[in-house]
Structure 1
Amino acid sequence: MGHMIRPYGDRKDDGVVQLSFVLPVAASEKAREAARQLLARQGFVDVLVAQMEKAGEGYTFFVCYGKTQLALDYDTIEVPEVKIHKLGFDALNEAIERDLGRKIVVVGGCTGTDAHAVGIDAIMNMKGYNQDYGLERYPMFDALNMGSQVLNEAIVARAVEMNADAILVSQIVTQRDVHKDNSRQLVEMLTEKGLRDRFILLLGGPRIDHKLALEIGFDAGFGPGTKPSDVANYLYSAVLKKEGKTPVHER
């Protein structure tokens, strides 16, 4: 027997989960029953429709509780993770100067038709995010933020021009998996041009994780909550290893 786990709300292993969703019907007792039956048919028991609110003309938002009988063995789950050894701001700059002897060059942008630059700004701009300095603040990084709606062709051209070590791609809009399609097109373009191995490719966004990034063809993926220092420290190790050198924490 492995490490079996189930959700719980009031007490361990009671199987209680909270779900929220919208149905394309006006709020009514019939709509409430529709929400309950929808969850019951998915196997939930003791379903409670806790909240029912109008979400627009002919649409209703629901918050429900239900119990699931499902459990899973936590020990059988395998998920690739980005391994990062964190150095402080000054220590990381000193390590890059000592071990690499030059600045790490990074080009980033929110590519395709995506006009939301908040993600790439948080990682690259000098002010950073959550009291964590962005890459532009690091003396040993040469970081260019190309902003939003950057064509894949444009970010590749600039990375080649600057002889960049890494390309950072931010994808916020995810409708119809456009974030996957656009990111995959970048990898395909680099491969066709014989440039894929020239750059370390990082992908970030609210629907991004390391597993998805690897599947698309990137070297690493960073999801919600990522700090600029996470990316900076990852790049220090990745660039050194690409040049056949060993990061200080692995010596």
Structure 2
Amino acid sequence: MSIVRPYGDTTGDGMVQLSFTLPIPHDKRAEGAAVQLANKMGMDPALLVHAKPMGEGFTFFVVYGKVSHLVDTDKVQVVERDFPLLSAKEVNAVIKRKLRRRLNVVGACIGTDAHTVGIDAILNLKGIAGEKGLEYYRELSVTNMGAQVSVPELVEEARAQKADAVLVSQVVTQRDAHLQNTRAMSAAFREALPAGKRPLLIVGGPRFDELMAGDLGVDRIFSRGTTPREVASYLVHALVGSPS
């Protein structure tokens, strides 16, 4: 079935749960405003199930209600993985056989972003979810620049390390900072290095849309749930070629 409706208590009942914050103090009027907003978004009926003050002049709400909207899964656009998922042993073997040198990777959180959990999960030896990070791969040379790295610093380090790939993590998304930083980064690399000399540009973070790679000027976007093995396999696919 390609047409589906949200499921809450029974199949196809259209029930959804929504959370949001309004810039008003918590009182009965605020609760009424939350229900009004939910109604305008198509929830009918809308039931307020939680309201909590969030500092002076703000209230957080959770609303539960029914919507009539349908989803056509045949029209959903996603980025499918178009490369084989390799083991660490296979990644190392392909790089050694075909590239005949170590593949150089530089990673960082750029701008004012100080959240290194994402980049560390991909690069650091300990990795994530039972997978070792890229530092574990003996045929990868990894430089982790850490947090709050400026774009000029990233470009300079990529040049110094003769980077084959640059990995950038962006978690802070207020006012679309992740999009602005990514566009500034890709523009800086285009200006600093001629075509054919630029490293592969990869960005990741929980709020990125994987379909926006072309618009942001990067080669690949990885969203939440990405593992080091996926990134390593993509690097081989994009920079080295078929493992066979």
Which category describes the TM-score, using the shorter chain as reference length? Answer: over 0.9
Cα gap change, 1:171/1:195 in structure 2, threshold over 3 Å: closer, same or farther?
A: farther
- Is the CA contact (8 Å cut-off) linking 2:94 and 2:240 kept in structure 1? no
Q: Report the 3-state secondary structure (helix = DSSP H, G, I; strand = E; otherwise coil) of the residue aligned with 1:48.
A: strand
Q: Which amino acid aligns with 1:239?
A: L
Counterpart of 1:234 in structure 2 is: 234
Map 1:153-168 → 2, pairs under 5 A: 153-168=152-167
Q: Shift of residue 101 of structure 1?
A: 2.1
1:196 offset after TM fit, Å? 5.1
Task: Quote the Cα distance in structure 2 between the aligned partners of 1:82 and 1:196.
Answer: 25
Deviations 1:137-195 (A, max 9, x none): 11010010011111111111121222211011111111111111111011111222344
After TM superposition, the structure 1 = structure 2 runs for residues 14-163 of structure 1, keeping only pairs within 5 Å, are 14-163=13-162
Q: Secondary structure at 1:148's aligned position in 2?
A: coil
CA distance in structure 2 between the partners assigned to 1:183 and 1:159 by the alignment: 16
Q: TM-score, normalised by structure 1?
A: 0.90
Looking at structure 2, the residues matched to 24 and 190 of structure 1 have their Cα atoms a distance apart, in angstroms, of: 40
CA distance in 2, matches of 1:217, 1:171: 15
Q: Aligned residue pairs: how many?
A: 243
- The SS at the match of 2:48 is strand
Q: Does 1:247 pair with 2:228? A: no
**Residues 154 and 105 of structure 1: CA distance in aligned 2, closer, same or farther (over 3 Å):** same
Find out whether 1:185 has 2:184 as its counterpart: yes
Once residues 195 and 9 of structure 1 are traced to their aligned partners in structure 2, the CA distance between those partners, rounded to angstroms, is: 54
Question: Residue deviations 1:185-233, cap 9 Å, x none?
Answer: 1111122234454211100112123212332011111111111111111
SS, match of residue 54 in structure 2: strand
Query: What is the one-letter code of the residue matched to 1:128?
Result: G
Q: 1:57 Cα deviation (Å)? A: 2.3
Structure 2 residue runs without a partner (length 5+): none
1:56 match: secondary structure: coil
- Per the alignment, residue 216 of structure 1 pairs with 216
The answer on whether the counterparts of 2:121 and 2:128 sit within 8 Å (CA) in structure 1 is yes
Say if 1:166 and 1:201, in contact at 8 Å, map to a contact too.
Answer: yes
Cα contact 1:47–1:67 (8 A) shared by 2: yes
CA gap of 1:57–1:43, structure 2 versus 1, over 3 A, is same
Q: What is the distance in 2 between the residues matched to 1:61 and 1:161?
A: 48
Matches of 1:196 and 1:19, distance apart in 2: 46
In 1, distance between residues paired with 2:105 and 2:194? 15
Q: Is the 8 A contact 2:158 2:166 kept in 1?
A: yes
Distance between the aligned counterparts of 1:31 and 1:4, measured in 2? 36
Work out whether residues 84 and 230 of structure 1, in 8 Å CA contact, stay in contact via their aligned partners in 2: no
- Deviation larger for 158-167 or 87-96: 87-96
RMSD: 1.7
After superposition, the C-alpha distances for 1:109-137 in whole angstroms (9 at most, x for unaligned) are 11122122221111111111122111111
**1-structure distance, mates of 2:173, 2:78:** 22
CA separation in 2, counterparts of 1:194 and 1:57?
Answer: 49
Structure 1: distance between partners of 2:38 and 2:27: 17
